[in-house]
Amino acid sequence: MKVASAVVDNIAELLFKIVRFAKVREKVLIENIEKMHVQDFVPKDLEVGVFSEQLNDAIDTHIRQGRLMFRDSSNIKFGYDGDFNVTSVPDRYARELLATDIDEYFQLEFDKLLENFLNKKTAMKLLRYHYPTVSVRN
């Protein structure tokens, strides 16, 4: 019981971070598609796995210590005001596909964009459900 209430206390902050991360990632993925015919273009992405681990670690810390604490990585930095900055990194696999099979590259980027959209939409729906007075924009 105590564990569940500890997580719920900060669920809005976690969901807002997921929405913000997804919005930034969406821009990166759209650029990957828009520039796929530009010579020497290097596709990028955000470190989704690292971000997920950071959220999981923050939840674990909250459960153990009673406070939500985010730890920085080399490309995701959390501020003291609840905000964070994320930097895209080159996507080696996408770059290989872009050089060898442009159709597969496009499918990869499209699939990532779709997955990202679903993650953002789910987080927004949860925010609206649990916090109906909170304003969340696409």
Considering Cα of 24, then 29, then 30, then 31, what sign does the dihedral take? positive
Q: Following CA atoms 36, 108, 49, 137 in sequence, which dihedral angle do they give, to the nearest 10 degrees?
A: 70
Domains of the chain, earliest start first: 2-130 (1.10.268)
Question: Three-state SS for 133?
Answer: coil
Question: Three-state SS for 44?
Answer: strand
CB distance 19 to 123 below 8 Å: yes
Q: Return mean pLDDT, the chain.
A: 90
**pTM to 2 decimals?**
0.88
Q: What distance in Å separates the CA atoms of residue 98 and residue 101, rounded to the nearest whole number?
A: 6
The rounded Cα 70 to chain-centroid distance in angstroms is 14
Tokens 């990202």 sit on residue: 116
Q: Between these two residues, 77 and 9, which has the higher pLDDT value?
A: 77
pLDDT of residue 53: 96
pLDDT of residue 138: 63
Q: Is the pLDDT of residue 2 over 60?
A: no
The model's pLDDT over 103-128, given as tens digits with 9 standing for 90+, comes to 999 999 999 999 999 999 999 999 98
